[in-house]
């Protein structure tokens, strides 16, 4: 998933995470024995438009690695410690960063949270037989679908759009909502796929679609969409997006006295975009973990608290950051099962994960689908600029889209 400089409001909030992760990396390295070390090489963006996602996910991975090390290290390798080496590619030198990290002994690659930006580093890691893991790519392309045979070494800890969109539709239908307006953002494959998945599952459940509108973030047409949607009646509006057009759409509808529930993806998580007048109300979204201290799992709340404290009291941009901890959990589980750091061996372990317990819940993969499915999504609501955890929702049936 991408965010441009113009709309990276959360970027300023998270700049401190860069310094935090650098300190943590040094601390971990100081405690690590060179003879017993598993190196995770993080080729990530700490300063450009992906930094609001990459920086906090890296911080979460660092905290989880420190926990593993403090608890005795990786049991499957006789207590080996985890060391996370970091290279800031700034979305310009992804391949170079991967090469640098491989040269320093990285056994596993950690890559950026957007499949396009991650691709050069992913390709380099898998070309060298290393796992390439992204904390929060949210499409089914981080794997064989995009990278072919070598793609069996590539995975994302994020859930695929077909699962997320279906979860949104199922939860909305469970509320008794039966009619929907779909507003699709064509900027990213993630936005489009999640929106299409909502539509497919909604119709399958028996829901009605009142209207469909489309726009592309930054094309300056969102005002026209607001005008068209404001006068229509429906039980819910599916609006999968992030960036600057998100507050424009939400505040625009409310200013026109349209209070229809708006349902978004994890891209619409966080309080960085909330408008003060009118306040955000009757807004819902799914996410990987609540950043507001009210997650149903204590380890998630502890992680949020730790990262927020380290970041001078500023919340992470979205709940997707917790997947950095899941990434470390999954690597440790795979090594414990295989007693190896071989990319092929670890990939086979990943492909057989079924309900693997992690910091945020569970992970499930298959030999062909290298994004998580059947995650317990956090459904959140925002009313009067206050976020509340509503429920956990696990997808009953994944949507089928093109």
Report pLDDT for 21: 38
Report pLDDT for 1: 61
Question: CA 56, 277, 272: angle at the middle one, nearest 5?
Answer: 5
What are the domain boundaries of the chain? 5-159+297-363, 161-287+377-394
Report pLDDT for 50: 87
Report pLDDT for 128: 98
Per-residue pLDDT averaged across 242-253, rounded?
Answer: 95
Per-residue pLDDT averaged across 325-331, rounded?
Answer: 97
Give the model confidence (pLDDT) of 338-385 as tens digits: 999 999 999 999 999 999 999 999 999 999 999 999 889 999 999 999
Report pLDDT for 402: 76
Confidence of residue 312 (pLDDT cuts 50, 70, 90): confident
Is 80 exceeded by the pLDDT of residue 216? Answer: yes
Looking from the CA of 305 toward its CB, the CA atoms found within 13 Å total 9
The arrangement of strands across the sheet holding 108-111 comes to: 81-88, 37-44, 108-111, 131-134, 154-156
Give the model confidence (pLDDT) of 155-194 as tens digits: 999 999 999 999 999 999 999 999 999 999 999 889 999 9
| Cα 26 to Cα 305: distance, rounded to the nearest angstrom | 21
Q: What percent of the chain has pLDDT over 70?
A: 91
Helix residue spans in 210-263 (DSSP H):
222-230, 245-255
| Cα 295 to Cα 307: distance, rounded to the nearest angstrom | 15
Cβ-count burial 140-158 (b if 16+ within 10 Å, e if not): bbbbbbbbeebbbbbbbbb
How many CB atoms lie under 10 A from the CB of residue 76?
18
Is 90 exceeded by the pLDDT of residue 247? Answer: yes
| Cα 21 to Cα 197: distance, rounded to the nearest angstrom | 36
Decide the pairing of beta strands 236-240 and 262-264. Answer: parallel
Strand partners, 44: 88
Question: CA 372, 378, 381: angle at the middle one, nearest 5?
Answer: 145
Contact 314, 271 (CB under 8 A): no
Report pLDDT for 390: 98
Is 70 exceeded by the pLDDT of residue 20? Answer: no
Contact 179, 210 (CB under 8 A): yes
Second CATH level (architecture) for the domain 161-287+377-394: 3-Layer(aba) Sandwich (3.40)
H or E element, residue 27:
helix 16-31
Is 90 exceeded by the pLDDT of residue 17? Answer: no
More confident residue, 206 or 35: 206
Report pLDDT for 4: 44
Per-residue pLDDT averaged across 150-158, rounded?
Answer: 97
Low-confidence winner among 9-23, 50-64, 223-237 (lowest mean pLDDT): 9-23
Report pLDDT for 8: 39
Report pLDDT for 146: 94
| Cα 18 to Cα 47: distance, rounded to the nearest angstrom | 8
Give the model confidence (pLDDT) of 263-300 as tens digits: 999 999 999 899 999 999 999 999 999 999 999 999 99
Report pLDDT for 395: 96
Confidence of residue 36 (pLDDT cuts 50, 70, 90): confident
Is 70 exceeded by the pLDDT of residue 2? Answer: no
Report pLDDT for 77: 95
| Cα 214 to Cα 195: distance, rounded to the nearest angstrom | 11
Domain 5-159+297-363 identical in fold to domain 161-287+377-394: yes
Q: What percent of the chain has pLDDT over 90?
A: 82
Report pLDDT for 114: 87
**Which residue in 401, 400, 378 sits closest to 168, CA to CA?**
378
Q: What is the mean pLDDT of the chain?
A: 91
Burial class (CB in 10 A: 0-12, 13-18, 19+), 293: middle
Is 90 exceeded by the pLDDT of residue 317? Answer: no
Query: In sequence order, what are the residues at sequence separation of 6 or more whose Cβ sits closer than 8 angstroms to the Cβ of residue 83?
Result: 25, 28, 29, 32, 37, 38, 39, 40, 65
Tokens of 181: 């307006």
Confidence of residue 30 (pLDDT cuts 50, 70, 90): very low
Say which CATH topology domain 5-159+297-363 has: Rossmann fold (3.40.50)
Is 90 exceeded by the pLDDT of residue 10? Answer: no
Is 80 exceeded by the pLDDT of residue 234? Answer: yes
Tokens of 300: 């998630």
Query: In sequence order, what are the residues at sequence separation of 6 or more whose Cβ sits closer than 8 angstroms to the Cβ of residue 300?
Result: 289, 290, 322, 359, 360
Decide the pairing of beta strands 376-383 and 283-287. Answer: antiparallel
Query: In sequence order, what are the residues at sequence separation of 6 or more whose Cβ sits closer than 8 angstroms to the Cβ of residue 112?
Result: 43, 44, 45, 50, 53, 54, 89, 91, 94, 118, 121, 134
How many CB atoms lie under 10 A from the CB of residue 394?
14
DSSP 252-280: HHHHTT----EEE-GGG-SSTT--BTTBP
Contact 252, 230 (CB under 8 A): yes
């Amino acid at each position: 998933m991408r965010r441009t400089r113009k709309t990276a409001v959360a970027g300023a909030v998270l700049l401190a995470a860069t310094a935090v992760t650098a300190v943590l990396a040094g601390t971990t390295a100081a405690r690590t024995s060179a003879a017993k070390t598993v190196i995770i090489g993080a080729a990530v963006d700490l300063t450009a438009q992906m930094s609001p996602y990459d920086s906090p996910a890296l911080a979460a991975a660092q905290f989880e690695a420190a926990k593993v090390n403090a608890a005795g290290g990786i049991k499957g390798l006789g207590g080996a410690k985890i060391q996370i080496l970091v290279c800031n590619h700034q979305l310009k030198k992804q391949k170079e960063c991967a090469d640098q990290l491989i040269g320093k002994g990285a056994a596993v690659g950690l890559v950026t949270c957007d499949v396009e930006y991650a691709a050069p580093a992913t390709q380099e890691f898998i070309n060298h037989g290393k796992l390439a893991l992204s904390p929060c790519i949210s499409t089914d392309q981080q794997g064989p679908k995009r990278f072919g045979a070598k793609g069996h070494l590539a995975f994302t800890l994020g859930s695929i759009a077909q699962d997320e969109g279906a979860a949104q539709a199922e939860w909305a239908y469970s509320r008794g909502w039966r009619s929907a307006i779909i507003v699709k953002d064509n900027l990213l494959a993630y936005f489009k796929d999640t929106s299409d998945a909502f539509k497919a599952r909604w119709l399958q459940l028996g829901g009605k679609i009142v209207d469909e509108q489309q726009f592309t973030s930054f094309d300056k047409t969102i005002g026209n969409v607001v005008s068209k949607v404001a006068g229509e009646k429906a039980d819910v509006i599916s609006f999968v997006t992030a960036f600057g057009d998100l507050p424009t759409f939400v505040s625009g509808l409310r200013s026109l006295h349209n209070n229809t529930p708006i349902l978004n993806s994890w891209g619409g998580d966080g309080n960085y975009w909330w408008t003060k007048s009118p306040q955000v109300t009757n807004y819902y979204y799914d996410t990987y973990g609540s950043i507001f201290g009210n997650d149903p799992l204590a380890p998630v709340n502890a992680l949020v608290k730790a990262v927020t404290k380290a970041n001078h009291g500023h919340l992470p941009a979205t709940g997707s950051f917790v997947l950095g901890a899941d990434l470390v959990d999954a690597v440790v589980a795979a090594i414990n099962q295989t007693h190896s750091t071989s990319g092929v061996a670890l990939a086979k372990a990943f492909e057989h994960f079924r309900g693997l317990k992690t910091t945020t819940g569970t992970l499930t993969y298959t030999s062909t689908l290298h994004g998580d499915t059947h995650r317990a999504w956090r459904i959140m609501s925002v009313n009067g600029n206050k976020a509340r955890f509503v429920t956990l929702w696990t997808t009953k049936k994944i949507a089928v889209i093109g």
